[in-house]
Structure formats: C-alpha cells, structure tokens
Amino acid sequence: MRRLDDVIPVPVSAVPADGHFAITPATQVSADPGLAWVAAFLGLPAAPSGGAIQFALGLDGPDESYELDISDSSVRVRAATPAGAFAAVQTLRQLISEGTLPAGHIADRPRFAYRGVMLDVARHFFTVDEVKAFIDAIVAFKINHLHLHLTDDQGWRLEIPGWPRLTEVSGASGTGVGGEGPGFYTRDHYTEIVSYAAERFVTIVPEIDMPGHVNAAQFAYPALTADGNPVPQRTDTEVGYSSLVADSETTYAFVEDVIREVAALTPGPFLHIGGDEAQATTPDDYRTFMSRVLPLVGKYGKRAVGWHEMANVELPETAVPQFWRTEPADDGTARAVAAGSQVIMSPADRTYLDMKYEPGFRLGLDWAGCVELDRAYDWDPADRLPGVPEHALLGVEAALWSETLRSRADVETMTFPRLPAIAEIAWSPREARDWPSFRRRVAAYAPRWRAEGTAYHPSPTVDWE
C-alpha cells in the first residue's frame, strides 16, 4: 500500500491516519456543480450526489490549492478552484494502489504559479497526437504550462494566413535537423492542442523565435533577408547566423502579422518572442528590433516572454525574461527584476532535458554538462541568480530541445524522470523537499510508466527495485 506522502510533487502537508479507503465496483464520485468534468478524470463512475468520493469548492487559498480527507468510508476533496480540484485528482491517481487509498489528511498548494516545460517542435516536428500524449504525461506532476517552440532555423511549424510559404516550404519534407522532422500545424490543429491543454489546466505558451533563429522564414520569403536574395535551407544545428532586418518595414509587417495571428489563436496570457543567440544582429539593431516588437505583443493583448538576452534592452514591466544559461550571474536579468519584471528560471545545467544523462548517452547534447536525476533535483531557483529573489520568480520551466530526438519514446526518455524532479522544485515548499524521499517516490512511480508504456531513463541514482 502507498504511503500518504508517496506523491510527486511532495505535498505541503500529509498527515497519515490508520486505515484505508477501498475502491470497489460500487464506488461512485459526486461533485459540486461545475466540478463533475474535473472529477471525471479520476476514472470512476459518477453519481448525482452522495458518492463515497466527493468533490467540492469553497477552500480558501491560492488558485490551485486543495485538501484531501481520506477515511475508511469516504474521500473528501475541497479545492479553491477547478484547477485545484484537478491537482487533487493527480494526487489521488498517484496514491491509488491495488484499489486502495491510504487514510489521512493532505493540504497542498503550489510554490510558483508558473510550472512549465518547453517542447521544441521546430527542430523536429511532433504531431497533434504526440503533443496530446505529452500533455497527459506532464499533468500528472502538476505542470501547468506547455511552451511550444514553433519556429527556428530548421523549420516553421504554424500556419500563418498571408504567408503560406512558411509552412508550404519550411514545414515540408526535408525540414528539421538532418531533414528528418517535417510537418506543421494548421490553425485548426493548433486550436485542437490549445483546447486539449486547457481542459487539463495547461496554458499553451507559443514561441516565435526572433530576431535570430529565422532561417526557415527567410528561406520561405527571401524578402525578409538584408539583400532580398534567397538563402539556402538549413538542417544543421549551428546557431547565431540568421537575423531579421531591423531597419526594414517588411520585417515589422511580417512580425505583426505573425504576432496578431498567434495571439488570436492563443487564449493564454503569454507570447514568447525568443530573442536568444542573435549573434548576427548588432546590439543597436537588437535594441531597435525589440523597441518595435515588444509593444506589438502588448497591442495584441499578450505578455511578452523572451530568453534572458531580451533583458539587455529596456523592458516593459510586464515582460518576462527566461534565464537559460549556466553562468552564475546575469546583470540584465537582475536589472529587469529591479525594474519590476518577473523571471522564469530555466538554467540549462539543471533544467535542460536535452542534456545527456551521462557521457555517451545515446540521446541529447552535453554543452551544459551531463544532467543526471540528482543534479536536476539538487538546486533551488531562489538561489540561482544574484538580484533574482523568490518574490521575483514567476516560476520554473524545463526545456526539451529536439535536435537529437526522433520519436515520442525519445521525448519520454529525456523527460522522465527529470521532469518530476523539476516539477517538485516548482510546486513543493523548499523545506519539504528531500532527495532520499524523492528517490523512493520516483521509484514507486515507475510501475505506472511501465504499465502505460511510457519510456523513462532508469537512472543509476535510484533503486528502481
């Protein structure tokens, strides 16, 4: 039988009691109005009222907070919002073992509002069904944002009206790293992903990378280059060689069309504009570009997110730098925080899921070092950068770049078990985290991965038996 705290992320409080609740064929679930569809994710029969498992609103607490009371005869779920009830479902699903739930009381709430993972569909495309499967896998660990890296030098993956060659040419056969990752989302496909995610309380954060990482756009439309001449298609993994033209009105007509369309398709509050590795853009041109583009994001009702190089220019207070490098400090990010910005923390040497687990691992890169499970767990975002204290953090995001990935199994192998470690950092109180406890809990979760056919790396830091 599971222990009451056998949950990832570990709850704020778990007080065990004697006994257990047995789930039988007669067990039914009832819920307050507006919660029945959330309770249905538990996978048990619904009752209009009086179910042995009951979901109710009315808890006073942050948006995703919830409480569980489990006894021999009943399970009571109280939540602040439907999102909190969904978080409670994930906890219950993890606790069910051999048809029973351990008795006791759990009180839980998130440390950070933003708990995300980025999936790179530009270097290698992943289908709508593959993205849906990824969403189903990540919500088990209370991840609530999925950042989709939709464009890069090797591919453009979202249909944009008025610019059909972006996907006809740069989403076609032969795109992606090594030419092995073709495909794109129509507007309907993207809307399907957004809706599927929203039903699971996941916010989609779309990224259109600029002013660098734009060779796919320029290959499709040479008018976006400095001289108007065609550029070759690129399927290698080099970075830093492409740039939109900062003094061209064609650039801003293109960018506004893209931002307007992506904003219209995306109900969430964020739109990621990249901004990283723009070595082919001079500092003056970078400032000029951002001074034109950042207001466009706000014009269409979104909050700009960008890789932390964006913080080298003056940002609106609503803009969110995402720190991704390995250096121990970053002056631009600290200045942005001093001016009122919040930060998403994604240091590559801890949260980049595309880093190899160990030297010679068959997938991944190693420019930020190897990241085994213990390394992904043993850090804290509030300690990562001088000038970026806890109150300045919007949250934490893991990132999975796809240069070496070719399949859903590859995605899962690089994601699990590291994403659960990062999810615990983002959700659980710092004082509740404990590496020996996490090792035990992630080992206890592995049978579910095996039963579901989910690939994972059997890290040598864990006793999987």
CATH code for the domain of 147: 3.20.20.80
**Does residue 20 form part of some domain?**
yes
| Cβ-contact 135, 53 below 8 angstroms | no
Question: Which band of pLDDT confidence, cut at 50, 70 and 90, is reported for residue 465?
Answer: confident
Percent of the chain with pLDDT over 70: 100
Stretch 283-289: mean pLDDT: 98
Chain-centroid distance of CA 266 in Å reads: 15
Q: In this structure, are 102 and 135 located in the same domain?
A: no
To the nearest whole percent, how much of the chain has pLDDT over 90? 99
> What is the rounded average pLDDT of the residues 51-57?
98
In a domain, 320, yes or no: yes
Residue 5 lies in a domain: no
Q: Which residues are catalytic?
A: 277
The pTM assigned to this predicted structure is: 0.98
**In a shared domain, residues 190 and 290:** yes
What do you get for the CA distance between the two ends of the chain, in Å?
A: 16
Average pLDDT over residues 134-149: 98
CA distances in angstroms from 212 to 138, 218, 310, listed in the order given: 30, 11, 12
Which region among 48-52, 136-140, 240-244 has the lowest average model confidence (pLDDT)? 48-52
The average pLDDT across 362-388 equals: 98
Are 123 and 267 found together in one domain?
yes
Same domain, 425 and 318: yes
Position 47 scores a pLDDT of 94
Does one domain contain both 101 and 210?
no
pLDDT tens track for 163-222? 999 999 999 999 999 999 999 999 999 999 999 999 999 999 999 999 999 999 999 999
What's the one-letter identity of residue 192?
E
452 within domain boundaries: no
Range 2-15 average pLDDT? 96
283 and 391 part of one domain: yes
Residue 299 scores a pLDDT above 90? yes
pLDDT band for position 405 (cuts 50, 70, 90): very high
331 and 204 within one domain: yes
pLDDT of residue 243: 98
Residues 186 and 280 in one domain: yes
Q: What count of other Cβ atoms lies within 10 Å of the Cβ of residue 226?
A: 13
Average pLDDT value for residue range 18-22:
97
Please check whether residue 447 lies inside any domain of the structure. Answer: no
- Give the domain-ending residue among 108, 141, 172: 108
Residue range 322-355, pLDDT digits in tens: 999 999 999 999 999 999 999 999 999 999 999 9
Find the mean pLDDT for residues 234-256.
Answer: 98
pLDDT at 89: 98
Q: Which residues contact 350 (CB under 8 A, 6 or more apart)?
A: 371, 375, 376, 379, 422
Residue 84: inside a domain, yes or no? yes
Number of domains in the chain: 2
pLDDT at 1 over 80: no
CATH number where 104 lies: 3.30.379.10
Domain ranges, residue 167: 114-432
Mean pLDDT of the chain: 97
Do 47 and 120 have their domain in common? no
Query: Does residue 464 sit within a domain?
Result: no
Q: Is 460 domain-assigned?
A: no
Same domain, 357 and 301: yes
Reported as a pLDDT band with limits 50, 70 and 90, residue 2 is confident
What is the signed CA dihedral for 122, 277, 390, 201, rounded to 10 degrees? -10
Looking at the fold, whether 132 and 64 belong to one and the same domain comes out as: no
| Residues 117-135 pLDDT 10s | 999 999 999 999 999 999 9
Same domain, 67 and 127: no
